[in-house]
Amino acid sequence: RKMSKHLGNVLEPIGLMDRHGADAVRWFMLAAGSAWQSRRVSDDTINEVVRKTLLTYWNTASFLSLYGRIAEFDYENADIPPVELRSSLDRWAISRANELIVEVEAALDQFDTQRAGRVISRFVDDLSNWYVRRSRRRFWDGDPAALATLHESLQIVTLLMAPFTPFITERVWTDLFASEETESVHLAAWPKADTSTINSDLHTHVDLVRRLVELGRAARASSKMKTRQPLRRALVAADGWNELPADLVDEITEEINVMTAVALDVSDSDLVEVSVKANFRELGKRFGKRTPDIAAAIVEADAEPLVKALRENGSATVIAGCDAVIIEPGDVVSTETPRQGWAVATDAGETVALDLTLDDELRAIGLARDVIREIQEARKNLGFEVTDRIEVQWQADGDLATALRKHASEVSNEVLATSFQEADVTADGGEPVHQIGAGAGRALITRSEPQS
């Protein structure tokens, strides 16, 4: 209902600021809706904008601070490769950050704070939930290119957010970016977009990667296959797949936990069934009243050679009535459905199929990765710091023991263990014993004493 003192449902702004902070209220009023439209205001709605944007921004800044300290990273003096020599993911983040400057300036020139806030929120989410998450190992290794990319991207978004949220950005600036020349974010110059770094093709590639990852996750979920269980291969059918750089293909294989990802070849009839239907929107733009006839011709065509021609040649010919009509890839929505033993997810003509066949090697890797997760959780519960080294004694039988013996080095590296020894594990010494391998084994985990 509309706020009214008579109804007693008025929210006092000072009370909201006391509970959530002035930045949260400012962001809600400026960026979470149009100033000229009625909006629901409550503690819950303000909490939502804090959770989605401000807390994500703060956590990303804290992440950079933590791993920068661990690596003793000094942006001004580090050996940082130029942007053009960095990985595709780094160049994507820098490209998106500079594009963000252009988008925010265009919105603010029109006094449209809602649009500016929307693109900032989307970028903060992309930076945290894609770039940082996919680059975690590089941050742990102290990779200067990754640390510099996050530093540069976060500095840009801090400057752009400062007029909206002056307090949290001032704290982040003080902690990460302040210098003798610019002690305050509010004294720093407005960022200028380096348009030479903006790469729309790279944006398209990463968008495709993220869609394929979502399809891979959906396929895995539909098969009830555990996330940490690696699979041998994924087959992918999508326009633009063959143009993806190798390092972006690696992002897909790591994210959906498969050994390899290759194109799903429509000629492999023993693996897939191919079906096609017309994309009426695209056909209508080109053919107008002839669209129904051409759509019928597409459906009646032999699907496999049609899709193969579209992918290999960029066009194909169908017979509509008495006429031969040339169609393009966008005119057709194709679906490739792998046969038994596969998990498949398809959306908008893009398909990811996972080979569900497991062998002893894959099962062993899956068991080792489960143990890594369990030891990491135990580290957290024991209150160890991120940088603490540990010693692990473990006891197990059967397949779990075989897996841990074979992958001892990988487990040790992942959990920062200076020692990973098979032993008779008991609780006689008073240290807690942790279950590993879903209860099939036990481990004793202690902090490693620093070398004198």
Query: In sequence order, what DSSP letters do the residues of 37-63 get, joined into one string?
Result: S-----HHHHHHHIIIIIHHHHHHHHH
Q: Give me the residues paired with residue 433 across strands.
A: 444
> Average pLDDT, stretch 275-281?
91
pLDDT greater at residue 32 or residue 284:
284
Say how far apart CA 443 and CA 425 lie, in whole Å.
Answer: 7
- Pair (225, 373) in one structural domain: no
- Pair (21, 166) in one structural domain: yes
Provide the token pair at 238: 């999508």
H-helix or E-strand spanning residue 418 = strand 417-422
Q: How many percent of the chain have pLDDT more than 90?
A: 69
Say how far apart CA 231 and CA 344 lie, in whole Å.
Answer: 14
Provide the token pair at 72: 């003793």
> Average pLDDT, stretch 143-156?
98
Span 321-343, pLDDT tens digits: 888 999 998 899 988 777 778 88
264 φ, ψ (degrees, to nearest 5)? -80, 110
> Average pLDDT, stretch 376-393?
92
Question: Residue 2 domain-assigned?
Answer: no
Q: What band does 253 get if pLDDT is binned at 50, 70 and 90?
A: very high
Residue 301: predicted pLDDT: 92
Say how far apart CA 392 and CA 101 lie, in whole Å.
Answer: 49
- Pair (265, 276) in one structural domain: no
Q: What band does 11 get if pLDDT is binned at 50, 70 and 90?
A: low
Count of domains forming the chain: 4
CATH number at residue 369: 3.30.2320
Residue 161: predicted pLDDT: 97
Residue 432: predicted pLDDT: 85
Name 327's Cβ contacts closer than 8 Å, sequence gap at least 6. 283, 294, 298, 310, 315, 316, 317, 318
**265 has pLDDT over 90:** no
Q: Assess contact for 433 and 442: CB atoms under 8 A.
A: yes
Question: Final residue of a domain: which of 139, 169, 197?
Answer: 197
Q: What band does 45 get if pLDDT is binned at 50, 70 and 90?
A: confident
- Pair (86, 185) in one structural domain: yes
Q: Angle, to 10 degrees, between the axis of helix 166-176 and the axis of helix 144-161? A: 150
Residue 78: predicted pLDDT: 92
Residue 309: predicted pLDDT: 87
Q: Assess contact for 220 and 352: CB atoms under 8 A.
A: no
CATH number at residue 33: 1.10.730.10
> Average pLDDT, stretch 376-382?
93
Q: How many residues does the chain have?
A: 452
CATH number at residue 289: 3.30.720
First to last CA, the chain: 68
Residue 439: predicted pLDDT: 80
Residue 268: predicted pLDDT: 57
Q: Assess contact for 26 and 164: CB atoms under 8 A.
A: yes
Q: What band does 267 get if pLDDT is binned at 50, 70 and 90?
A: low
Q: How many percent of the chain have pLDDT more than 70?
A: 91
Domain ranges, residue 317: 272-337
**109 has pLDDT over 80:** yes
Question: Residue 227 domain-assigned?
Answer: yes
Whether the predicted model's global pTM rises above the 0.85 cut? no
Q: Give me the residues paired with residue 163 across strands.
A: none
Q: With b meaning 16 or more CB within 10 Å and e meaning fewer, what string describes 397-428?
A: eeebbebbebbbeebbebbbbeebeeeebeee
Q: Is 435 helix (H, G, I), strand (E, B) or coil?
A: strand
**63 has pLDDT over 80:** yes
One-letter amino acid for residue 342 of the chain: W
Q: Assess contact for 182 and 188: CB atoms under 8 A.
A: yes
- Pair (260, 351) in one structural domain: yes
**275 has pLDDT over 80:** yes
Residue 83: predicted pLDDT: 96
Residue 351: predicted pLDDT: 87
**Sign of the Cα pseudo-torsion (372, 377, 379, 384, in order):** positive
